[in-house]
């Protein structure tokens, strides 16, 4: 649509073409490749990276050309950070908590269990000192991170059996990665790493008992509701799942200033738009899943309490082991505490009232 | 900061100056004036418009020059729409619900009582059809609107006496504008229009009994906590207060495509950043207000119930009187209903759990 607008306006407006022509004719071109952790079927997340490429092209009159690649086209989805660090590509779009094994502090660039929600994450990142803190860590690997889209709170996944007590988690073979898996392991579950495309047969055959992926819009495509009975909420393992654009630091520093601004502003824009799109496509998908017979259930409070305690125990353990984690955790927790106070008072106060009411006919 | 980065990089980097020079040398310059509804003392909102001007300058290598004006410098704060329509200025930053008297449907570009929260508003505007609907109305006045920053849920204002029942609203002389005032009038209150600078003496002398302005960060500067006892939450008169950039349609259409994109993306960026800034400055301000002895109180549920009913009655009345309002209200309400379902299930489910818990030490 942007592209069409561009062409129409350039063809139609005399002033426009007079202005646009000189810059296009003279400025040299920069070409970047962005690899991603996403298959193209994740239209919302993968699509947000395509929108960034389009926006940057529009802002630079086509002189900053970006090509976007799905997981596996250049490197596998979980090797994005390495590919950026090695400058196999100039940049990669990913979820920083995937790289928690490399440096635990990378989790703060993604999202933590029971942590900052989407709006709180934006506040912390841009004005609360969060971005400076996580960038200090990425710099050690020659990478700069830019916040670049959010998924919001995800669902808690598909289950063959009900989760009524903490005991129901014991021995539960569940597909869940990263820190969420580490927390569930503390409660007796057996976290599994399985690619999304293999989840349907694994659940059908009973190789696993449960699987979490993202939210209704993405989950529905995997068809997991056909081989499970229960769809739990909330996905407490991230208060917000922020995606990031990881950029090779040398490539970043070589960019002309206006191109840096174009790239940065396009990422910031997706911080607004990517979750807005999810918030439009998730509700009808959730309705369809519920209509299919899948039961939407809430984790019982004692289960959440056990997970809450295990989560903060894990954070304390990681802080004791890793200086970067400790430094950021201290700042993050102080911000979370003050921010929660404010959200309790205003935003949550109104949301909890109005969401308790049916709309008048 | 952007400006400094720009200069440093252009002076220091050979590649950068080689690239930047031709466009700067050849492209003609566009100069716009943006008037606003805000005094400069509203550093967060007024500041967001200054950030837009800086961002556009950075993206266009200084060729799209924007000057920002406070309320009263060119036209008074509530005449922004007129000034844009008449092309006294090319654009104005304001809150569209201010112009509710001109066209009731403009309220949907700002915020409605018990309506969409900030994230839901972004979803509706960008991917739920909302922006197209409000633009149809603005087009009648030769204006195009761009979403451009949000305040989030505001506080419910300062009160000399407690509000324990709906009867306590009867005869209450309260500073509150727009649709919120119309709803409170249905409950017996007497809404007053008073400029922010006059609120302190009006409350001190007892000319009015209560006043709402924005949230803790902005409210604190007015000093109203010194002449009242109670600070109520939530500001139910807007589920989200979205600010807008109103642009003269002819001026917009004359912009070169890359400049249009620069302007649009800078506004979208403020949709993310303006509320992020508020979410950082409001919590400490709320703490200071509470420490000053001001009592933070929640409106009792029966008072909210009466306001909720009165709000939707007013919307129905407006829909019966105005075709544009009716058309948008129908779409808005359907979106709100489906979106609330989704927010109840995921985002609110996690927020309500984690905000009920103290953080572990």
Same domain, B110 and B172: no
B325 assigned to some structural domain = no
Domain boundary among A279, A306, A336: A279
Contact criterion met (CB below 8 Å) for A147 and A264: no
- Give the residues of chain A that fall short of pLDDT 70: 1-27
Residues A83, A212: one domain? Answer: no
What distances in angstroms separate CA A183 from CA A106, A180, A209, A212, B357, one per listed residue? 17, 5, 17, 14, 18
Is the peptide bond prior to B116 cis by the omega test (within 30 degrees of 0)? no
From the list B117, B152, B269, which residue is nearest A265 (CB)? B269
Mean pLDDT of the B226-238 span = 97
CB contact under 8 A, B351 and A343: yes
Question: Are B135 and B272 members of one domain?
Answer: yes
A217, B194, B199, B209, B341 from B204: Cα distances, Å: 54, 14, 8, 9, 44
A160, burial (CB in 10 Å: exposed 0-12, middle 13-18, buried 19+): middle
| pLDDT tens by residue, B63-77 | 999 999 999 999 999
A246, A193: one domain: no
Q: Does B285 touch chain A (CB under 8 A)?
A: no
CA distances for B321 relative to A140, B105, B107, B284, B327, angstroms? 63, 11, 15, 44, 11
Tokens in use for A209? Answer: 């008992």
Give residue A26's pLDDT.
54
Considering the domain architecture, whether residues A60 and A173 belong to the same structural domain is answered as no
Q: Is residue A323 part of a domain?
A: no
Q: Which domain holds residue A28?
A: 3-153+240-279
Q: Is residue B345 part of a domain?
A: no
In a domain, B196, yes or no: yes
- Angle, CA B238 vertex, CA B155 and CA A152 arms, to 5°: 90
CATH of the domain at A212: 3.40.190.10
B147 backbone dihedrals φ, ψ, rounded to 5°: -55, 140
Per-residue DSSP letter, B21: H
Q: In this complex, which of A2, A127, A154 lies closest to B276 when CB atoms are compared?
A: A127
Q: How far apart are CA A305 and CA A293, in angstroms?
A: 29
Asked if residue B86 and residue B206 are part of one domain, the reply reads: no
Rounded Cα distance between A332 and A329, Å, is 5
In this complex, the residue of B258, B298, B337 whose CB is nearest that of residue A20 is B258
The verdict on B135 and B33 lying in the same domain is: yes
The residue of chain B with its CA nearest to that of A268 is B269
Give pLDDT tens digits for B151-166.
Answer: 999 999 999 999 999 9
Would residue B116 count as lying in a domain?
yes
Interface test with A, best of B44, B116, B148, B283 (most A CBs within 10 A): B283
Average pLDDT for B319-326: 98
Average pLDDT value for residue range B262-288: 98
CB B305 within 8 A of CB B183: no
User: Is the CB of residue A277 less than 8 Å away from at least one CB of chain B?
Assistant: yes
Whether B265 and A261 lie within 8 Å, measured CB to CB: no
Q: pLDDT tens-digit profile of A321-334?
A: 999 999 999 999 99
Residue B27 pLDDT grade (very low, low, confident, very high; cuts 50, 70, 90) = low
**ipTM exceeds 0.90:** yes
Among residues A250, A279, A308, the one where a domain terminates is A279
Q: How confident is the model at residue B195 (pLDDT cuts 50, 70, 90)?
A: confident
pLDDT recorded at residue A27: 62
B14 near A CB under 8 A: no
CB pairs under 8 A between A and B: 311
Which tokens go with B73?
């410098």
| pLDDT at B19 > cutoff 50 | no
Q: What is the CATH number of the domain that holds B121?
A: 3.40.190.170
Percentage of chain B lying above the pLDDT 70 cut:
93
- Please identify, among A254, A279, A304, the residue that sits at the C-terminal boundary of a domain: A279
Q: Are A167 and A184 within 8 A, CB to CB?
A: no
Strands B30-36 and B91-94, by their bridges, are: parallel
Distance CA B123, CA B271 (A): 12
In a domain, B183, yes or no: yes
Q: How many domains does chain A have?
A: 2
Assigned domain for B127 exists: yes
Residues A19 and A44 in one domain: yes
Q: How confident is the model at residue B81 (pLDDT cuts 50, 70, 90)?
A: very high
Claim to verify: residue A77 and residue A133 sit in the same structural domain = yes
> Of the candidates B41, B51, B59, B37, which has an alpha carbon nearest to the alpha carbon of residue B261?
B59
Task: Judge whether residue B223 has pLDDT over 90.
Answer: yes
Q: Please, are residues B34 and B53 in contact by the beta-carbon 8 Å criterion?
A: yes
Q: Is residue B44 in a domain?
A: yes
Overall residue count recorded for chain B in this entry? 361
- A17 with A131, same domain? yes
**Which candidate from A22, A256, A336 shows the least CB-CB separation from B359?**
A336
Same domain, A101 and A247: yes
The strand pair at B190-192 and B157-159 is best described as: unpaired
In this prediction, residue B199 has a pLDDT band, given cuts at 50, 70 and 90, of very high
* Average pLDDT over every residue of B227-237: 98
Whether residues A169 and A298 fall in one domain:
yes
pLDDT tens for A275-297 read 999 999 999 999 999 999 999 99
């Amino acid at each position: 649509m942007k592209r069409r607008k561009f062409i129409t306006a350039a063809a139609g407006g005399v002033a426009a073409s007079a202005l646009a022509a000189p810059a296009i004719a003279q400025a040299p071109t920069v070409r970047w490749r962005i690899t991603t952790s996403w298959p193209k079927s994740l239209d919302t997340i993968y699509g947000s990276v395509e929108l960034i490429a389009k926006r940057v092209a529009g802002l630079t009159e086509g002189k900053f050309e970006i090509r976007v690649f799905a997981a596996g086209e250049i490197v596998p989805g979980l090797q994005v950070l390495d590919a950026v660090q090695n400058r196999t590509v100039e940049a990669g779009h990913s979820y920083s908590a995937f790289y928690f094994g490399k440096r635990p502090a990378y989790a703060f660039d993604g999202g933590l269990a029971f942590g900052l929600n989407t709006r709180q994450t934006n506040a912390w990142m841009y004005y609360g000192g969060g971005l400076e803190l996580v960038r200090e860590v990425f710099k050690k690997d020659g990478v700069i991170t830019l916040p670049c889209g959010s998924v919001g709170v995800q669902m808690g996944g598909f289950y063959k059996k009900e989760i009524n007590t903490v005991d129901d988690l014991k021995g539960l073979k569940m597909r869940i990665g990263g820190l969420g898996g580490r927390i569930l392991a503390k409660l007796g579950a057996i976290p599994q790493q399985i690619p999304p495309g293999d989840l349907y047969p694994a659940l059908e055959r009973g190789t696993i008992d449960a699987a979490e992926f993202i939210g209704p819009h993405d989950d529905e495509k995997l068809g997991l509701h056909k081989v499970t009975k229960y769809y739990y909420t909330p996905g407490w393992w991230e208060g917000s799942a922020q995606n990031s654009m990881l950029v090779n630091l040398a490539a970043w520093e070589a960019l002309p200033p206006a191109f840096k601004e174009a790239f940065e502003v396009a990422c910031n824009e997706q911080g607004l738009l990517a979750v807005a799109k999810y918030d439009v496509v998730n509700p009808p998908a959730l309705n369809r899943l519920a209509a299919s017979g899948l039961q939407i259930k809430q984790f019982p409070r004692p289960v959440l309490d056990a997970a809450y305690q295990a989560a903060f125990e894990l954070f304390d353990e990681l802080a004791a082991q890793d200086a970067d984690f400790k430094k950021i955790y201290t700042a993050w927790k102080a911000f979370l505490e003050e921010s929660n106070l404010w959200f309790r008072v205003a935003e949550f106060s109104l949301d909890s009232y109005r969401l308790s009411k049916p709309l008048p006919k």
